[in-house]
Chain A
Amino acid sequence: MSDVLYFSEHTLQEIALVFMGLVYVLRIRWLLRFKASQERQPTGARDSRAPLKGILYSWANIAMPWSMESSRKHLWMYGQFVVFHLGVVASIGLSFIIPYAPSLLENGPLVLLLQVVIGVACFVGLLRVIRRVSSPHMRAISSPDDYFSLILLTVWFFFAFLAVPNDTSAGEWHLLAFFLLTAFFLVYVPFSKISHYLYYPFTRYYLGKSMGYRGVYPLHTGSKAKAV
């Protein structure tokens, strides 16, 4: 392994991780500076005030494609979402496995599994790029950050796919590209839409709390009326 690759796999990643963590701390501090609205709800016939249930339902919503019309009607898109994010998880995992537990990649089935997941995620990334570019509705809501983040992730998947076997017999360029891109991501992510996973717990928490208080979440699908 060259010094450059070693530096990219270790020192560079660690610096980038610390930077990302620092920016995230600042970001969360910034978010918490805004006041959280209070909930005052009177008693009434509908005493189904269940903020906790609402919050849990809201957080779990993403894993229940049947619970939202938008995912139920677009199962193909939902499937893409699942694969794409599994690819992200696998690629992030890979960025730790290669430098800190490379022996895991001597397991053939694991390598195959990672390559399948990341390879399909890369394909989904391509589909998403095409959708974002070709649909007028998607173009209308897209910013340069949206295009850049998506293309960058797709390219990252591509190099992650190549990096999975952790094989340098044909050169180090693919591993180097993967780790340089990973480091870039760590620095770029807090400033881009990719940081949405940081906000997800907050947005879903507050929506779930509000809807739970009002008895909307968990959504009713035709069960018996609540006791009056």
Chain B
Amino acid sequence: MRENSRSHKAQVVIDRMGKKLSRQMVGSLVGCVHCGLCTDSCHYVLANPEDPTFAPAYKADRIRRIFKHHYDWTGRFFPWWVKAGTVLTDAELEELKDIAFGKCTNCRRCSLNCPMGVDFATVNRMARGLLVSVGVMPEGVAHVSKDQWEIGNQMGVLKEDYLETLEWMSEELQDEVEDPAAVIPVDQHGCEVVYAINPREVKYDPRSIADAAKIFWAAGEDWTMASEGWDMTNFGLFSGDDDLGGAVARRLYEKVEELGGKRLVISECGHGFRSTRCEGPNWAKYDVGFRMESSIDTMLRYIAEGRIEVDKSRNSLPVTYHDSCNMARSCGVTEEPRELLRQVCADFREMHPNRAENFCCTGGGGAMSMSEYTAQRLTSAKVKAEQLRETGAAVVVTSCHNCVDGLTDLIRHYKLDMKVTQLVNLVAEALVIEERIPAVPAVEVAEVAVLTGRKIVVADDEPDQVIYLKSVLEDHGAEVHTAEDGDAALELSKRLKPDLLTLDLAMPGREVTEIFDILRGQSDLADLKICIITGRPEMRKLIYERMDAPPDGYLDKPVEEEELILAVRKILEIKVH
């Protein structure tokens, strides 16, 4: 095909590349000597040693060839000599998409291992941005970006749901600490701290909001959360879309300034911290006038200042720490989490390699929203699984919500006996506030029959799982019916009109995603709440690639009792007083 028959999208990509090129990027594009030293720094290569197409230099060359052909004289005059080439068709852009999004998590491990200082992650991000600008991207990336542009957060959490969750968590906190003043303040002006979170916390992990609130309360902090502009995540980092990155960051900065906050505290999220703290001011071209810190720094500061007291014996299980790529390799946060862990855990074990040399959780770079690459991602997770196994720890702690999801997936896939948690959960657990907490928390008494009068259908084909879920839910007062496949779940849902259906995705018979679509399409089941309880990461299609309303809740197997009841209560909006 001749160059004059290049597709419109390919032409736009080439033209925009010229505008995106900075001196740093050009340095990285011309500086590679193909020495191959970056090769085994990449977890994709280590997990696929026979396939040279995973090598960082190879992947970078798919982008570099276009640059050379169009912007570098060697490639223009002697293209075959330096392997320069162009893109002509949309199919070639799709191939590039599979490399830029599917074969790299932008973890930057190869960048730090390149003797020449070639920053492949930055080049790859540029390629992603170019592809996104012409609409060539994984479907999940499109959905998440759209939500962040239009709704203001990347999980499409509506304002009322967010505020309800804060209210609910306030009530939980008040019950737990028996202090009516223990509330999550919203839109308070002139506070010392404005706390920004990841929407995943609202949707799937509200406990972390309550734990953070408990710590702020214990420290006597003057703090607030914002009713809008509260999302500190930024999909622009993953999609390479600087416009989105700038808009999201600006939204957050402006909100903090509007509230007159003196310090923005960013909850534990690797890409959120990097985007907000390090990249956002550059994307948004915004000179931030307040201080910014990770909640890790905040918690450490509270301990150092004696504002909170912690007892490490309350976290007695062996714990290891997974450094998030964005925190460690792109923001230099390596020692603070360790110092905190040593104060709140009795048995901390280092993972090797660690800090800036740690391996990616394999869910980074937005990989968790790209279900088409799940199999490839989980194969590459072999390296991380080995790292985790070798620690002998029962708990892996990470300061990143993406890592929580990525690690949870690989722990399940490689059948590791570990659970994932965050520093905020451990610090909250270790808090010493004995004089304010009664010996037997009233909330536990109230929870015994908290589901009384609720009808729940449990759909799962694993008898052990069914027995477990049924007994836990019945113990809390629910009326439980069971189904062993999707059709039975459908039939029971139509007949019994339950309040909630818990749905496993790997059941015999019809594809459960199809059952989900049918349920969502039934007008007489419009009020039916659905909670996915699954061991299949592919379920993220339902969250990120949805046509209809997403599930109301999502839990990873194995599910702990407290986690299950908390999720069910949140979905059914049951408050305990």
- Whether A199 lies near B27 (C-beta < 8 A) is yes
A216 touches B330 (CB 8 A): yes
- Known contacts: A40-B286, A45-B293. The answer to whether A70 contacts B38 by CB under 8 A is yes
Residues of A197-228 contacting chain B, CB below 8 A: 199-200, 202-204, 206-208, 210-211, 213-217, 219-226, 228
Extra pairs beyond A40-B286, A144-B81, A216-B356 (10, CB < 8 Å) = A37-B23, A81-B115, A140-B52, A141-B34, A141-B36, A145-B82, A192-B74, A196-B32, A204-B117, A228-B300
Minimal beta-carbon separation of B333 from chain A (angstroms)? 7
Cβ contacts A to B, 29 pairs, < 8 Å: A30-B73, A32-B23, A34-B21, A34-B22, A34-B23, A45-B293, A45-B297, A48-B332, A68-B112, A68-B113, A69-B357, A70-B115, A137-B52, A141-B34, A141-B52, A143-B81, A144-B80, A146-B34, A191-B74, A193-B34, A203-B116, A203-B117, A204-B117, A206-B24, A207-B24, A211-B332, A215-B333, A223-B335, A225-B338
> Could you tell me if B336 and A228 are in contact, using CB atoms closer than 8 angstroms?
yes
A220 near B23: Cβ-Cβ < 8 Å? no
Closest A residue to B288 using CB positions:
A42
B117 touches A70 (CB 8 A): no
Q: Which of B34, B38, B286, B291 has the most CB of A within 10 A?
A: B34
Is residue A171 contacting chain B, with contact meaning CB distance below 8 A?
A: no
Nearest Cβ on chain B to A80's Cβ, whole angstroms: 10
Separation of A113 and B80 alpha carbons in the complex (Å): 40
B293 touches A220 (CB 8 A): no
Q: How far is the CB of B87 from chain A (nearest CB, A)?
A: 18
Are the C-beta atoms of B52 and A71 separated by less than 8 Å? no
Alpha-carbon separation in the docked complex, A222 to B350 (Å): 11
Q: Cβ of A39 < 8 Å from any Cβ of B?
A: yes
B294 touches which one: A34, A45, A217, A225 (CB < 8 A)? A45
The distance from the CB of B6 to the nearest CB of chain A, in whole angstroms, is 23
CB under 8 Å from chain A, chain B span 17-74: 21-28, 30-41, 45, 50, 52-53, 55, 57-58, 61, 73-74
User: A206 contacts B36, CB within 8 Å?
Assistant: no
Separation of A196 and B334 alpha carbons in the complex (Å) = 32
Q: Please, how many angstroms separate the alpha-carbon atoms of A97 and B383 in the complex? A: 52
Instruction: Say yes or no: is B281 at the interface (Cβ < 8 Å to chain A).
Output: yes
Residues from chain B with Cβ under 8 Å of A39 in the complex: 282
Bound complex: CA of A145 vs CA of B301, how far in Å?
55
* CB-defined contacts of B81 to chain A, threshold 8 Å: 143-145, 148
Whether A137 contacts B39 in the complex (CB less than 8 A), given A44-B291, A220-B332, comes out as yes
- A129-150 CB contacts (< 8 Å) to partner B: 135-146, 148
Measured between alpha carbons, how far is A196 from B117 in the docked complex, in Å?
11
Q: How far is A30 from B74 in the complex, measured between Cα atoms in Å?
A: 13
- A26-46 residues at the B interface, CB under 8 angstroms: 30-32, 34-46
Residues of B within 8 A of A192 (CB): 74
A48 surroundings in chain B (CB, below 8 A): 332
When chains A and B are docked, how far (Å) is the Cα of A216 from the Cα of B80?
A: 38
A-chain residues with CB within 8 Å of residue B301 when the two chains form the complex: 45, 228
Nearest chain B CB to A214's CB is how many angstroms away?
Answer: 5
Q: Is the CB of A37 within 8 A of B335?
A: no
Interface size class of A (residues with CB under 8 A): 35 or more
Q: Please tell me if the beta carbons of B22 and A37 are within 8 angstroms of each other in the complex.
A: yes
* Cross-chain contact A207 with B117 (CB below 8 angstroms): yes
Range, interface on chain B: 35 or more
CA A216 to CA B356, docked complex, whole Å: 8
Docked-complex contact A204 and B116, CB < 8 angstroms: yes
Q: Contact between B355 and A220 (Cβ–Cβ < 8 Å)?
A: yes
B278 within 8 A of A: yes
Q: Please state if B23 and A38 are interface contacts (CB–CB under 8 Å).
A: no
| In contact, B24 and A196 (Cβ under 8 angstroms) | no
- Which residues of the partner chain A approach B115 to less than 8 Å between Cβ atoms? 61-62, 68, 70-71, 81
B11 → A minimal CB distance (Å): 21
Known: A46-B297, A68-B112, A145-B82. A35 touches B23 (CB 8 A): yes
A137 to B56, CA, bound (A): 10
In the assembled complex, the CB of A4 is this many whole angstroms from the nearest CB of chain B, namely 30
Given the interface pairs A221-B355, A225-B336, the reply to whether A140 lies near B31 with Cβ below 8 Å is no
B251 interfacial by beta-carbon distance below 8 Å: no
A226 to B336 CA separation, bound complex (whole angstroms): 7
Selected from B40, B50, B82, B297, the residue in CB contact (under 8 A) with A228 is B297
Contact A200 B116 (CB under 8 A): yes
Q: Which B359-387 residues have C-beta < 8 A from chain A?
A: none
Given A204-B117, A207-B117, A225-B339, check contact A42 B277 (CB 8 Å). yes
Closest to B350 in A: A222
* B56 and chain A: residue at smallest CB distance: A141
Q: Which residues of A contact B278 (CB under 8 A)?
A: 41, 213-214
A89 part of interface (Cβ distance < 8 Å): no
Query: Bound state CA distance, A46 and B273, in angstroms?
Result: 12
CA distance A74 to B293 in the complex (A): 37
B335 touching A31 by the CB < 8 A rule? no
Contact among B116, B291, B335, B353 with A226 in the assembled complex (CB-CB below 8 Å): B335
Report B-chain residues with C-beta under 8 Å of the C-beta of A224. 335, 339
